[in-house]
Amino acid sequence: MTSRPETEQDAVTNAATPEVVANSNKRKVFVRTYGCQMNVYDSERMTDVLAPEGFEATGDLEDADLVILNTCHIREKAAEKVYSELGRIRKVKEARAKAGKDMMVGVAGCVAQAEGEEISRRAPIVDMVVGPQSYHQLPALLEKVRSGKKVVETEFDIDAKFDQLSARAARPVSKRPSAAFLTVQEGCDKFCTFCVVPYTRGAEVSRSVSQIVTEAEQMAASGVREVTLLGQNVNAYHGEAEDGATWGLGRLLRRLAEIDGLDRLRYTTSHPRDMDDDLIEAHRELKSLMPYLHLPVQSGSDKILKAMNRRHTRDEYFRLLDRIREASPDIALSGDFIVGFPGETDQDFEDTLDLIRRVEYGSAFSFKYSQRPGTPGATMDAQVPEDVKSERLAVLQALLSEQQKAFNASRKGMVCDVLLEKAGRNPGQLVGKSPWLQPVQLDAPIDLIGSIQAVEIVDIGSNSLFGRLNAGQDSDDQSVAIPTPAA
């Protein structure tokens, strides 16, 4: 499992358009999402599940009849951040009560799974606590809340969740954004010693091939051009096909590449141990599989990798990257790094810097190690002092930033296909994504949103590329391969 940078957003900004329901007296649901892309997907599905109950998404907390915090437990003090947010919500709920308006409050996601009854005890305003494998039961749980009961539902009935979500995905919906997430696998069996995911999301479970294909076909029919397959350990996917055979991620990607209108495929997050030959060959064969791979290594020290229970060495990681780059020479690599893991010496940290220099990442995420209660790492000896962690993180991030800037600069002057996704901040501006997952800004008519256009990259910003439409040119003939670093 990878650590992701903690973010938060409100589900109204990315939720699929809810189904039209007969109830004209709409109620409002406000969903705040913390953490990873899978939580974003889950929040969208929550709004889908609630739509037939008469709820529509809102971005206004004060206007909400139902508030759900969809939480993440990866980062340090995640639970305390949730309790702090609940303190602010309490004031809004009290103000609505004085105005004669009800507000139900729910906590969902991984903090809900980890904290359970403790949330209701510490925050009495919370009406229901719902684990990540139980949110498909929201309508029934809300009925219990309306009858005056406090609800805590943290069962691991993941198969039931997937069955219900797949049945809903088969129904026609209004137009969706041009890029979307699709969960294909949940849970993790790796038990890295720094990670809480096996305890909050459970063991690895994969959706069936038919469930995924049905949802992807519906997405394509409603305007989605790019799908990112999600999983805590997505390349451990082992779904059952209609003939009873077990498919890996490579074979699933090949099937999804056959869907009309689905022009781009991505997946995240992967573990080096599960990057098999068939998946690597998919990168060679599939034009729709984008040349970007997030493949966390976490550390460049064999000693620390062993302490983390990563089950691979730095040399094995190098050799794996050689095979991937041979199959897809223009691939951009992304990674995760944890500095200051217990027992990390100056030499161990230097080994990590050496690995980064040799790999040359296009992008990466990096964090100071934080002790997560219940994980083996939290009780290990030789915890690294906080000031040492901070110093090391600054050095590591400077190196990664340098590499990202160099990678972005190498795009200048090339022509590539860009999926135009939304309007930009400035009039007449659109924002899209390059094949390597970089934001691209350019001037273009708004009716091009949802299309894939050949774009010449004319300038480089700190976090974005700037381009101009290059109508009439074939981007495949103009694209420049990324030089392959020696590893």
pLDDT digits (tens, 9 = 90+) for 346-365: 999 999 999 999 999 999 99
Q: Which of 86-95, 325-334, 476-485 has the lowest mean pLDDT?
A: 476-485
Which residue range(s) make up the domain with 54?
8-155
Torsion angles phi and psi, residue 208, rounded to 5: -70, 155
Provide the pLDDT for residue 213.
Answer: 96
pLDDT for 185 beyond 80: yes
Q: How many domains does the chain have?
A: 3
Same domain, 346 and 454: no
Same domain, 221 and 370: yes
Burial of 439 (0-12, 13-18, 19+ CB in 10 A): middle
Provide the pLDDT for residue 9.
Answer: 60
Last residue of a domain, one of 383, 409, 435: 409
pLDDT digits (tens, 9 = 90+) for 397-436: 999 999 999 999 999 999 999 999 999 999 999 999 999 9
The CATH number covering residue 73 comes to 3.40.50.12160
Torsion angles phi and psi, residue 433, rounded to 5: -125, 140
Same domain, 325 and 219: yes
The CATH number covering residue 179 comes to 3.80.30.20
Is residue 461 included in any domain, yes or no? yes
Q: Is 416 annotated as a binding residue?
A: no
Same domain, 284 and 338: yes
Last residue of a domain, one of 116, 131, 155: 155
Is residue 140 included in any domain, yes or no? yes
Q: Which residue has the tokens 């209004």?
A: 174
Is residue 2 included in any domain, yes or no? no
Answer yes or no: are the C-beta atoms of 230 and 183 closer than 8 Å.
Answer: yes
Residue 392: enclosing H or E segment and its boundaries? helix 386-409
pLDDT for 3 beyond 50: no
SS3 annotation, 263-312: CEEEEECCCHHHCCHHHHHHHHHCCCECCEEECCCECCCHHHHHHCCCCC
Shortest CA distance to 398 belongs to which of 428, 366, 444? 366
Same domain, 243 and 293: yes
Same domain, 130 and 274: no
Q: Which residue has the tokens 């990168």?
A: 283
Answer yes or no: are the C-beta atoms of 17 and 173 closer than 8 Å.
Answer: yes
What number of residues does the chain have? 487
Same domain, 315 and 427: no
Is residue 484 included in any domain, yes or no? no
Provide the pLDDT for residue 169.
Answer: 54
Is residue 247 included in any domain, yes or no? yes
Same domain, 171 and 293: yes
Same domain, 353 and 473: no
Same domain, 138 and 176: no
Last residue of a domain, one of 390, 409, 428: 409
Mean pLDDT for the stretch of residues 270-286: 97
Distance CA 156, CA 189 (A): 15
Q: Is 195 annotated as a binding residue?
A: yes
Confidence band for 480, pLDDT divided at 50, 70 and 90: very low
Same domain, 375 and 349: yes
What integer best gives the mean pLDDT of the chain?
Answer: 87
Note if the pTM is more than 0.85. no
Is residue 192 included in any domain, yes or no? yes
Provide the pLDDT for residue 23.
Answer: 42
The CATH number covering residue 442 comes to 2.40.50.140
Is residue 1 included in any domain, yes or no? no
Is residue 485 included in any domain, yes or no? no
Same domain, 402 and 291: yes
Provide the pLDDT for residue 8.
Answer: 55
